[in-house]
């Protein structure tokens, strides 16, 4: 079954720093995901910690929060058929070393930490994450 969904994408600091936002947006557009909202911001460490709360028990949590708050990011709402799963497919595996050919992380990811992009992983989390960055 297919349905039109919205999902949250974040171009992470390593990719914004290398001016890759427009290149990454091309991947979405080529794959029929529309960018319905977009803003460039920087989050505080506390905001990053709140955003990544699901990972709070993981050994990499502190590093992850420091990293997300280390520089500007571009947050976007993407919309399209099965947008959540489609976006995850286009992103590629979490560790760029394992990412499939043709994916964003394969092309631009530097390491499991600096993997260039975030994407919501479920309908429930997409809703929460969109709300987190685009409250109104
Ligand atoms: P995802 O970004 O592919 O959804 P998650 O498991 O949700 O991956 O992890 C969130 C972020 O935390 C990843 O994008 C990655 O940067 C980082 N991360 C995940 N697993 C590890 C790990 O084992 N070591 C270090 N960093 C990790
Ligand atoms: Mg995740």
CATH class given for the domain over 4-133: alpha beta
User: Does residue 55 have an active-site annotation?
Assistant: no
The CA 27 to ligand 2 mean position distance, Å, reads: 19
Which atom of ligand 1 is the closest one to the Cα of 93? 3
Q: What is the pLDDT of residue 2?
A: 75
Distance 134 CA to ligand 1 centre (A): 23
**DSSP count for the chain of H helices, then E strands:** 7, 4
Exactly one of 49, 78, 118, 129 is catalytic; name it: 118
Q: Which residues pair with 76 in a beta bridge?
A: 9, 38
Question: Strands 73-81 and 34-41, how do they pair?
Answer: antiparallel
Alpha carbon nearest to ligand 1 atom 3, residue: 94
What digits encode the pLDDT tens for the residues 55-84? 999 999 999 999 999 999 999 999 999 999
Per cent of the chain over pLDDT 90 is 97
């Amino acid at each position: 079954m297919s349905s039109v969904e919205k999902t949250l994408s974040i171009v992470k600091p390593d990719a914004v720093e290398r001016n890759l936002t427009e290149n990454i947006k091309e991947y979405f557009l080529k794959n029929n995901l529309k960018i319905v909202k977009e803003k460039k911001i920087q989050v505080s460490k506390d905001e990053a910690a709140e955003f990544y709360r699901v990972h709070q028990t993981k050994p990499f949590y502190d590093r992850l929060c420091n990293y997300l708050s280390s520089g500007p990011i571009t947050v976007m709402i993407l919309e399209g058929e099965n947008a959540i799963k489609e976006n995850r497919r286009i992103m590629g595996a979490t560790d760029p070393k394992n990412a499939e050919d043709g994916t964003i992380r394969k092309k631009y990811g530097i390491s499991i930490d600096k993997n260039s992009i975030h994407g919501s992983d479920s309908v429930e989390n997409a809703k929460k994450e969109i709300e987190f960055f685009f409250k109104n």
